[in-house]
Chains A and B, each alone.
Chain A
Amino acid sequence: MKVIEVKDLAKTYYSPFGNIEAVKGISFEVEEGEIFGFLGPNGAGKSTTIMMLTTLLKPTRGTAKILGYDIVHQPNQVRQLIGYVSQDLTVDDTLTGWENMYLQGRFYHLPKEVIKERAEELLKLLKIYDRAKDKAETYSGGMRKKLDIAMGLIHRPKILFLDEPTLGLDVQTRQDIWEYVQKIRKENKMTIFLTTHYMEEADSLCDRIAIIDKGEIKALDTPKNLKNSIGGDLIFLTIEDNSTEKLERFIKRIKSLDPVKNVSSKDSKCNIVASNAESLIPVIFSIAFEIDINITSITMKKPSLDDVYLAYTGREFRDEDGSREDSMRMRRLLRRTR
């Protein structure tokens, strides 16, 4: 069953200084129970898309249906069925953990007993129950984010929208959060729509990933297929430079090998794209021995989503200025006082 159906969804921000096309008509579908990842740099249109799907922004063009309800014309039905955890830390610092949960439950019109029962269950699961009666301002950053996520789960949403949920958190907290969210997802057959900066996270969690850049979806598939789509494994060689003629012969021989798809070389470095790189390495060595050139180093790499991302957007993911900016913003959020 398709729980999210997006057709030609677009958002343009109008301003006197020029209009910004944040999302340029994207279409995709999400199946029930899936973890669907939105991957892209800052300003790619991830948050704008999430805000449209959660009824917080009106699209300029196009439609989207959440469990059959139109996001523009039936926003209240949509709101009842979805949970939203924004990239900002939106717990109320002056309230206790329990009060935050209570208020959130009230926003979804749950009876008090149900709120109490579920709040206890969620806070226990996320291991913040023993601090539930303390004010959220005394919590650590990780605890606040856990509370934030618990709040998003109190009405047992069918679809949970997580906008950069683990931004700036330490590895342990990130793992904890995913363990619990996965547990709840399996118990409730929940669908998760996720945006993230963390490649490994997207890779290991998502059933399918959409790579979004400059408001457009550049690629959409399972992480495995995406990785396969860029050609295969990578082998990086460094060669002791003794003669160009020998090097050219060496590259020619490698190119003629069946599993090799592409070879590029510059100075003494040589990059090979090939399928099944493990079994290719011994062959490379024997050719080098025959031609009599010295290989000083060899690295083999299975393609990561980083490489996929690079291939589709032409940009190195980690080089984005964003990551630094984001951690600054995260620190600002955590430092905040009222």
Chain B
Amino acid sequence: MKKLIYDTYSVMWRELKHWLDQKVRILVTIFQPLIWLALMGNVMSKLTDNPFSRQAFGGANYLSFMTPGIIVMTSLFGGIFGGISVVWDRRWGYLHKMLASPISRTAIPLGKMLATAIQGTFQSLIIIIIATLFGVEFSTGIPGIITIILLAACFNFTMAGLSIAIASRIKTMEVLTAVINFLTMPLMFSSSAMFPIQVMPDWLATIARFNPITYVVNPLRTLVISGWEMGDLIKGFLYITFLALSMLFIARHEFNRSIA
């Protein structure tokens, strides 16, 4: 166990070094939510002008509604590309260098997933700061914001696990990027991240009810708009934890299978 933690830190340290090295990538993570909030928020703000639709959006303006959606979307995108480093490491032979050493095999996927989650924490924080500047009020205050960030990081971790599991099977960069893009867009737009389920056509609403992203967005939205509704929150929290743990297990299994 001590060895696992030590090795996980080694892998994570390397991934974070890579991340900090990419200044442009960090800039993009700042500007992307800015663009989303400024553009989408302004274009769509008319949506919540009439009382009926305002009710569908949970009594909030569109920006408040969308902020949790953007946090989840950013986590999804950040996380789902976490597996790419596995493909790079394999291609350049660095993976073999790690595997020839006595490093714990679980530490490799776990360290990469944690590094992605830490990046996600940073991204969520930026989105929240920008949203606050745009006038979004978080009804649960600072403790709520911390909870939001933690839940988003958990989701990020989960998606990184999914990505590593896929990258363990698909070993070329081109195919992996294609598969990831194929997954993310439909996942995103068939969830309640951008629009409330109430305004969706029936077929889409049905898909959205089964979409895991809906279950992640909902507790975050509760924290932003409605406050501490413990029943919803605990359900959401349990769901995300379950998702994260099972994905860690799957990623570990797939990764170990690919190196055997």
Interface residues of A (CB under 8 A from B): 51, 54-56, 58, 76, 79-80, 82, 84, 86, 88-90, 92, 94-95, 99, 103-104, 106-109, 151, 336, 338
Q: Considering the chains assembled together, what is the distance between the CA atoms of A79 and B3 in angstroms?
A: 15
- Asked whether B94 lies within 8 Å of A90 as measured between CB atoms, the reply is yes
- Asked whether B102 lies within 8 Å of A76 as measured between CB atoms, the reply is yes
Q: A86-B93, A109-B3, A336-B92 are in contact. Are A92 and B100 (CB under 8 A)?
A: no
Interface residues of B (CB under 8 A from A): 3, 6-7, 10, 13-14, 17-18, 21, 88, 92-94, 96-103, 260
Q: Considering the chains assembled together, what is the distance between the CA atoms of A74 and B192 in angstroms?
A: 50
- Asked whether B96 lies within 8 Å of A86 as measured between CB atoms, the reply is yes
Q: Considering the chains assembled together, what is the distance between the CA atoms of A56 and B96 in angstroms?
A: 7
Chosen A-B contacts, 14 in total, with CB atoms closer than 8 Å, are A56-B100, A79-B100, A79-B102, A84-B96, A86-B93, A90-B96, A94-B18, A94-B21, A103-B13, A107-B7, A107-B97, A107-B103, A336-B92, A338-B88
Q: Considering the chains assembled together, what is the distance between the CA atoms of A99 and B97 in angstroms?
A: 15
- Asked whether A79 lies within 8 Å of B101 as measured between CB atoms, the reply is yes
Q: Considering the chains assembled together, what is the distance between the CA atoms of A54 and B101 in angstroms?
A: 9
- Asked whether B97 lies within 8 Å of A86 as measured between CB atoms, the reply is yes
Contact of A109 among B13, B21, B99, B102 (CB under 8 A): B102
Question: Interface residues of B: mostly helix, strand, loop or mixed?
Answer: helix
Q: A86-B93, A94-B17, A94-B18 are in contact. Are A55 and B10 (CB under 8 A)?
A: no
Q: Considering the chains assembled together, what is the distance between the CA atoms of A86 and B91 in angstroms?
A: 13
Q: Considering the chains assembled together, what is the distance between the CA atoms of A332 and B100 in angstroms?
A: 24
What residues on B are CB-neighbors of A56 within 8 Å?
96, 99-100
What residues on A are CB-neighbors of B13 within 8 Å?
103
User: In the complex, which residue of chain B has the Cβ closest to the Cβ of A75?
Assistant: B102
- Asked whether A107 lies within 8 Å of B17 as measured between CB atoms, the reply is no
Q: Considering the chains assembled together, what is the distance between the CA atoms of A56 and B259 in angstroms?
A: 8
Q: In the assembled complex, how far is the CB of residue A113 from the closest CB belonging to chain B, in whole angstroms?
A: 16
Q: Considering the chains assembled together, what is the distance between the CA atoms of A99 and B13 in angstroms?
A: 10
Q: In the assembled complex, how far is the CB of residue B9 from the closest CB belonging to chain A, in whole angstroms?
A: 8
What residues on B are CB-neighbors of A86 within 8 Å?
93, 96-97
Q: In the assembled complex, how far is the CB of residue B199 from the closest CB belonging to chain A, in whole angstroms?
A: 44
